[in-house]
Amino acid sequence: MDPVRIRLADPGQGPRSIPEELRRRFPDRLEELEAALAAGLVVTADGRPVTDATRRRRGMDVWTYREPAPEVAVPGELAVLHRDERVLVVDKPHFLATTPRAGHVTETALVRARRDLGPDELAPAHRLDRLTAGVLLFTTDPAYRAAYQDLFATRRVRKTYLAVAPAPEGTARVRERSSRIVKTRGVLQAAEVDGEADAHSRITLLDRRDDQLGLYRLEPTTGRTHQLRVHMNALGTPILGDDLYPSIRQVTPGDFSDPLQLLAESIEFTDPVTGETRRFRTRRGLEAWETGVVPHSPGRVDPA
């Protein structure tokens, strides 16, 4: 986990002692703060532990590590697909967030990778939704971080996904969806709205079973939030295990029995350092397709 930066008030405003200022600003975390101060885990920019004798300067920051709340362990291994001096490619399991956010901190791909695989300078070049499994690329050296992140930001990475969803009689083998997608802060679902399209997906039905379920390959050429889930739902074939589309459904915390049947199958790009073509592919599968049994969580109910 990265340390938290705390910007101090300018000298002359508030207590002169840095610990006293921190105690005043964080009264709800006093026990944790006192423990961090005693352990030397509150430090200045040059890494020196903060004490009552540490002098405060204008524009000064201090840094500390916050003790995360206990989290339910997410099942599944963060398997290594490839590693070299510039990148680490892993196979992320379902339910594991890419980076710390809200209630997911230690149970994230970034923290697991730093803890188990190292180094501490690991950083994601892109992100996968928490519910999506599959190929995820980290940079291992900060000197190359921007180059690989820019590949994804400028859409120079070809990404393919696999999904299991309904495939009624008459479903076309190839469908395309272009629309404008908006995700509003505080609203769980993203929505298609009027306006110029900013999201495009190509959807290919690879196989179909007698129970009218299909295995699809999804190829997004853009990267809007929840894009594939929104487009599959808009076409009348929502992805199995989706808690948001077509309707929001509650899930019992810690219930991992009904994973979203969406898998980041592969990424392919021209390496920004060597110029070679690189392709990484998942070794995972989708439970609903491999077993022929649609998972269902008894703890999931429609909200009142």
**What pLDDT shows up at residue 300?**
34
pLDDT in tens, 166-189: 999 999 999 999 999 999 988 999
**What pLDDT shows up at residue 293?**
63
For 184, residues 6+ apart whose C-beta sits below 8 A from its C-beta are 191
* Residues designated as active site: 129
pLDDT in tens, 255-291: 999 999 999 999 999 999 999 999 999 999 999 998 7
pLDDT in tens, 21-77: 888 888 888 888 888 888 888 888 878 888 888 877 777 888 787 666 788 999 999
Residues comprising the chain, all counted: 304
**Rounded Cα–Cα distance for residues 92 and 99 (Å):** 12
Neighbour count for residue 209 (Cβ, 10 Å): 13
Q: Side-chain half-sphere of 57: how many Cα atoms within 13 Å?
A: 7
Element (H, E) at 279: strand 277-281
